[in-house]
């Protein structure tokens, strides 16, 4: 299975690349790092409902929407991301939503295990360490393919996330947490590799662990590759959609 | 438009609703997953004209669920979210 280390990439280009790979049908794992820092909305979310748009503007954050569901997140260089794109009938990823999340979680759990961290799948689409979220995941079935992607938190800019994301009180109650403040709430729910390991973690180290982790979870061997010319053409022809205001504010 | 936020077991559902005895306009957003994704717009269209009673809403949404896959929210969650906005 092809592996592409995409390096730094902006979200519209990343989503356009996922779409191009899905359309070309070549099963691929990508690792990537989000730059510039961006608020990424789940496909079904309302931009106004989830994001403090004025605050995002003040902080110089882009706002983007991904083709997959799930919740709004802050993407930045402190995290390492993965995307697995594979034909729906390729057998690489399970077709069912939960089974696919569990498969991806296996890869992440394997990778975190290499750092001595005991991670588990939790709830709908999270991977947790010591009960706290360290990875959020999403998926979509489009273009005849499954796109499964997510993040691994090496570190997290809790302050910026708390400022820009409108986290509803309804999300806080029932979690056994007092809603004292949003930042405190995030800190009680979210952890990072840096926190768990009490050291800075190198991105390259994490990428290698992810590669091995997914190889075991998906039972495949990875060969490093690049995008084909036809994939680049598709990417460049669809990128405008993901950059457009119509797409970002569609709901 | 009246707004409501409902916390289902599998996520948050937000509803913007313009309704009298029946739904005139509705927007359903949230952090759930529905496959295929464009079915959310079709669901909203299907709900226009539906009376704002739990039974009617549940029937329309359950019928709709026959042809989609959802992950995170059930028809009952959507009904509760909508009724909260009525």
A170 and B7 in contact by Cβ < 8 A? yes
Tell me which residue of A94, A197, A139 sits closest to A209, measured CA to CA.
A197
Whether A87 and chain B come into contact, CB under 8 Å, resolves to no
Distance CA A135, CA A143 (A): 26
Tell me which chain A residues have a C-beta less than 8 angstroms from the C-beta of B6: 170
How far is the alpha carbon of A224 from chain B, nearest alpha carbon, in Å? 31
Is the bond preceding A36 in cis, omega lying within 30 degrees of 0? yes
Q: How far is CA A147 from the centre of its chain?
A: 11
3-state secondary structure of A213: helix
Q: What average pLDDT score do residues A185-212 get? A: 96
A124 and B11 in contact by Cβ < 8 A? yes
Tell me which chain B residues have a C-beta less than 8 angstroms from the C-beta of A170: 5-7, 12
- Scan residues 40-69 of B and list those with Cβ closer than 8 Å to A: 40, 69
- Mean pLDDT over each residue of chain A, to the nearest integer: 94
- Whether the per-residue pLDDT at A91 is higher than 70: the answer is yes
Is the bond preceding B36 in cis, omega lying within 30 degrees of 0? yes
Whether B30 and chain A come into contact, CB under 8 Å, resolves to yes
pLDDT of residue A184: 85
Q: What average pLDDT score do residues A171-190 get? A: 70
Distance CA A91, CA A83 (A): 16
Pairing outcome for strands B11-19 and B2-8: antiparallel
- List for chain B the helix, strand, coil content (%; round to 5): 35, 35, 25
Closest residue in B to A139 (Cα) is: B33
pLDDT of residue A52: 95
Distance CA B37, CA B48 (A): 19
pLDDT of residue B75: 97
- Residue bearing the bigger pLDDT, A177 or A237: A237
- Whether the per-residue pLDDT at A94 is higher than 90: the answer is yes
pLDDT of residue A101: 98
- Mean pLDDT over each residue of chain B, to the nearest integer: 95
Question: Tokens representing B58?
Answer: 């549940």
Whether A137 and chain B come into contact, CB under 8 Å, resolves to no
B72 and A46 in contact by Cβ < 8 A? no
Distance CA B36, CA A42 (A): 14
pLDDT of residue A76: 95
Distance CA A208, CA A204 (A): 6
Most B-contacting residue of A15, A40, A42, A44 (CB-CB within 10 A), to test interface = A44
Whether A69 and chain B come into contact, CB under 8 Å, resolves to yes
pLDDT of residue A167: 80
Biggest CA-to-CA distance, chain A: 52
A179 band by pLDDT with thresholds 50, 70 and 90: very low
pLDDT tens digits, residue range A192-204? 999 999 999 999 9
Closest residue in B to A72 (Cα) is: B31
pLDDT tens digits, residue range B71-80? 999 999 999 9
Q: What average pLDDT score do residues A13-23 get? A: 98
């Amino acid at each position: 299975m092809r592996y592409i280390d995409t390096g730094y990439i902006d979200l519209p280009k990343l989503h356009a690349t996922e779409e191009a790979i899905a359309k070309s049908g070549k099963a691929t794992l990508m690792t990537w790092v989000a730059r510039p820092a961006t608020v990424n909305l789940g496909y079904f979310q309302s931009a106004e409902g989830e994001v403090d748009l004025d605050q995002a503007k003040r902080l110089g954050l882009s706002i983007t929407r991904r083709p997959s569901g799930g919740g709004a997140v802050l993407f930045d260089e402190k995290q390492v991301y993965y995307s697995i794109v594979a034909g729906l009938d390729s057998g690489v990823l399970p077709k069912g939503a939960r089974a696919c999340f569990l498969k991806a979680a296996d890869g992440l759990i394997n990778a975190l295990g290499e750092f001595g961290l005991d991670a588990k799948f939790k709830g709908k689409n999270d991977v947790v360490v010591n009960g706290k979220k360290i990875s959020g995941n999403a998926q979509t079935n489009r273009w005849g393919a499954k796109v499964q992607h997510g993040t691994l938190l090496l570190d997290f800019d809790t302050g910026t996330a708390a400022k820009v994301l409108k986290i509803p009180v309804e999300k806080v109650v029932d979690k056994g947490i007092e809603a004292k403040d949003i930042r405190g709430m995030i800190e009680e729910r979210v952890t990072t590799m840096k926190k768990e390991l009490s050291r800075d973690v190198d991105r390259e180290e994490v990428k290698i662990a992810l590669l091995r982790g997914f190889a075991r979870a998906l039972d495949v061997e990875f060969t490093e590759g690049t995008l084909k010319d036809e994939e680049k053409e598709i990417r460049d022809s669809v990128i405008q959609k993901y950059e457009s205001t119509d797409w970002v504010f569609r709901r | 438009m009246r707004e409501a936020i409902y916390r289902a077991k599998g996520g948050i559902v937000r509803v913007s609703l313009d309704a009298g005895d029946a739904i005139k306009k509705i927007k359903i957003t949230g952090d759930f997953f529905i496959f295929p994704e464009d079915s959310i717009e079709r669901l909203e269209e299907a709900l226009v004209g539906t009376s704002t009673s739990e039974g009617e809403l549940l029937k329309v949404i359950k019928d709709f669920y026959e042809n989609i896959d959802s992950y995170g929210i059930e028809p009952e969650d959507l009904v509760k979210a909508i009724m909260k906005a009525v």
